[in-house]
């Protein structure tokens, strides 16, 4: 928690919510259609001369009964959202609304539980111990999945007039890896082909109220009525969810057996496993890998040359790609952290004040009242210009060296500081270290194979769209 300082004044939180019902709708239209997400926040920073203010957050009426939040947009105030002694995380994963429990088998999965609830600790401990037991499989399984991805990428480049959609190939690879890592088997050909689409629809129906599908502005009212006004139902994905559930249930005996030993019902454990695999893992990778390749791809040939040299030299010296080799690649590590900083996979964090709290921004202190919902927009907090020089620019070597490593405490993508480790008692992503490792390996594998590459980039509702225009085969091999 950021504590008050005698040098900084305690000020009332600026901003407001407007008239009931109308205020949330106005803010929703500003957010999605009139201003857009970033300008929505940027304009209010300017208006109130503050990175902390009151506003309404989508979806608003009629999905959310209360859209009022305290917005945090700087690196100093944001970490209050990690302090679960001060903020409650119950049913607030998606913000001011919660999707129907039908999407999760009629139960509240671990992500919707507060650490004060006993079940949260039991489930989180299960996840952490399970991931630890699979540690030796992380690298070989991922490299195997990546090898197939590269073959498909090169084939598409050859077939599609030198333009290849990366996202669809990456999604297929991610599903394959997630299923093989979290279960005891491999997906059959039908599940491998259909699985990514099943998870996409399941995710989309839950997260649609927080996004715009990008229709022309003339259709904005139509879009708003369809996806922002009433909750989308479960039935379009019901049969697909059952197929995913059954596939994991029949293939995940070791996980379910361990869950039973810890007193967790097998069905409840399996619904949690599907959520962990589909929402946290696959959903995260769906954004993470295109994001990393977007920023590395647009980083230019000089960055590519330096990465290729570091990757190939280190892998040769270490006798292969190992955990030790990954730790010795300082530029590689910095590049992945920088991608996670500049475009974090999960941009939103929410919590509800358990008591009156005093938070601190760079220039003021503010009192948040007990029961108020707190919202942090992470891309602004991790691009805080008072913390990061050239904060809007991708700087590949930003975190290299002692001074660079000191900035890691301001990287928040995992629902905690990068310098903190996940425990059963916090809400940090249980796969934090796995995510960082995968981000490093995908870059390593690229530069073991290729000297440079070029991409086209566009925005999607969930992360960037990346299309490869060229791949230049490596002129030097390990």
How confident is the model over 28-84, as pLDDT tens digits?
999 999 999 999 999 999 999 999 999 999 999 999 989 999 999 999 999 999 999
> From CA 297, how far away is CA 442, in angstroms rounded?
13
Q: Domain-by-domain residue ranges, the chain? A: 10-473
Are the C-beta atoms of 361 and 426 separated by less than 8 Å?
Answer: no
Please, which pLDDT band fits residue 3 given cuts at 50, 70 and 90? very low
CA distance 335 to 428: 22
Mean pLDDT throughout 323-344?
A: 97
The H or E element containing residue 119 is: helix 118-133
pLDDT digits (tens, 9 = 90+) for 183-215: 999 999 999 999 999 999 999 999 999 999 888
Q: Which helix (H) or strand (E) holds 375?
A: strand 373-377
- E strand segments, 25-122: 52-56, 68-72, 87-88
- If one counts every other C-beta atom within 10 angstroms of the C-beta of residue 446, the result is 25
Is 270 marked as a binding-site residue? Answer: no
Query: What whole-number distance in Å separates Cα of residue 15 and Cα of residue 304?
Result: 45
- Taking only the tens place, the pLDDT of each residue in 234-253 is 999 999 999 999 999 999 99
Query: How much is the pTM?
Result: 0.95
Q: How far is CA 361 from CA 22, 340, 391, in A?
A: 30, 22, 17
| Structure confidence at residue 4 (pLDDT) | 41
- Which of 150, 130, 129 has its CA nearest to residue 441? 150
Best CA proximity match to 85, nearest among 18, 210, 1: 1
Query: Residue 476: what pLDDT?
Result: 63
Interior angle at CA 212, CA 205 and CA 276, nearest 5: 40
The chain-wide mean pLDDT, for the chain, equals 94
Q: Which token pair is 19?
A: 């008239």
Chain-centre distance for alpha carbon 252: 25
Distance CA 124, CA 423 (A): 8
Which CATH code for domain 10-473?
1.10.630.10
**Model confidence pLDDT, tens digit, residues 275-327:** 999 999 999 999 999 999 999 999 999 999 999 999 999 999 999 999 999 99
Q: Are 183 and 252 contacting, i.e. CB atoms less than 8 angstroms apart? A: yes
Confidence bin at 163 (pLDDT 50/70/90): confident
């Amino acid at each position: 928690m950021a504590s008050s300082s005698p040098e900084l004044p305690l000020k009332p939180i600026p901003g407001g919510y407007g008239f009931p019902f109308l205020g949330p709708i106005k803010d929703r239209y500003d957010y999605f259609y009139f201003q857009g997400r970033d300008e929505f926040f940027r304009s209010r920073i300017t208006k109130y001369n503050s990175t902390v203010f009151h506003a309404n957050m989508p979806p608003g009426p009629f999905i959310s009964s209360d859209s009022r939040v305290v917005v945090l947009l700087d690196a100093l105030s944001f970490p209050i959202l990690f302090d679960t002694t001060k903020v409650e995380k119950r049913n607030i994963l998606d913000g001011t609304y919660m999707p129907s429990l039908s999407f999760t088998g009629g139960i509240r999965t671990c992500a919707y539980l507060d650490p004060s609830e006993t079940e949260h600790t039991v489930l989180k401990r299960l996840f952490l111990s399970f991931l630890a037991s699979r540690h030796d499989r992380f690298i070989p399984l991922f490299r195997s999945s990546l090898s197939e991805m590269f073959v498909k990428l090169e084939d598409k480049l050859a077939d599609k007039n030198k333009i290849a959609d990366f996202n669809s190939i990456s999604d297929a690879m991610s599903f394959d890896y997630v299923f093989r890592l979290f279960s005891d088997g491999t997906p059959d050909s039908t599940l491998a082909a259909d699985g990514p689409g099943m998870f996409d629809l399941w995710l989309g129906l839950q997260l649609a109220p927080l996004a715009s599908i990008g229709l022309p502005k003339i259709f904005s009212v139509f879009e708003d009525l369809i996806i922002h006004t009433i909750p989308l139902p479960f039935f379009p994905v019901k049969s697909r969810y059952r197929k995913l559930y059954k596939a994991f249930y029949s293939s995940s005996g070791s996980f379910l057996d361990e869950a039973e030993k810890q007193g967790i019902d097998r069905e409840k454990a399996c619904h949690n496993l599907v959520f962990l695999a589909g929402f946290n893992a696959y959903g995260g990778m769906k954004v993470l890998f295109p994001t990393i390749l977007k920023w590395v791809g647009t980083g230019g040939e000089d960055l590519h040359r330096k990465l290729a040299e570091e990757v190939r030299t280190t892998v040769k010296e270490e006798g292969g790609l190992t955990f030790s080799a990954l730790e010795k690649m300082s530029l590689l590590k910095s590049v992945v952290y920088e991608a996670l900083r500049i475009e974090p996979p999960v941009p939103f964090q929410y919590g509800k004040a358990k008591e009156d709290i005093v938070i601190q921004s760079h220039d003021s202190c503010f009192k948040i009242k007990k029961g108020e919902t707190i919202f942090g927009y992470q891309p602004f907090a991790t691009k805080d210009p008072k913390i990061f020089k050239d904060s809007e620019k991708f700087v590949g070597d930003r975190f290299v060296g002692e001074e660079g490593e000191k900035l890691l405490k301001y990287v928040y993508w995992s629902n905690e500081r990068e310098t903190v480790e996940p425990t059963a008692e916090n809400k940090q992503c249980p796969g934090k270290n796995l995510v960082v490792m995968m981000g490093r390996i995908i870059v390593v594998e690229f530069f073991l194979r290729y000297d440079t590459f070029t991409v086209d980039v566009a925005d999607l509702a969930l992360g960037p769209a990346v299309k490869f225009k060229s791949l230049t085969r490596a002129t030097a091999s390990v």
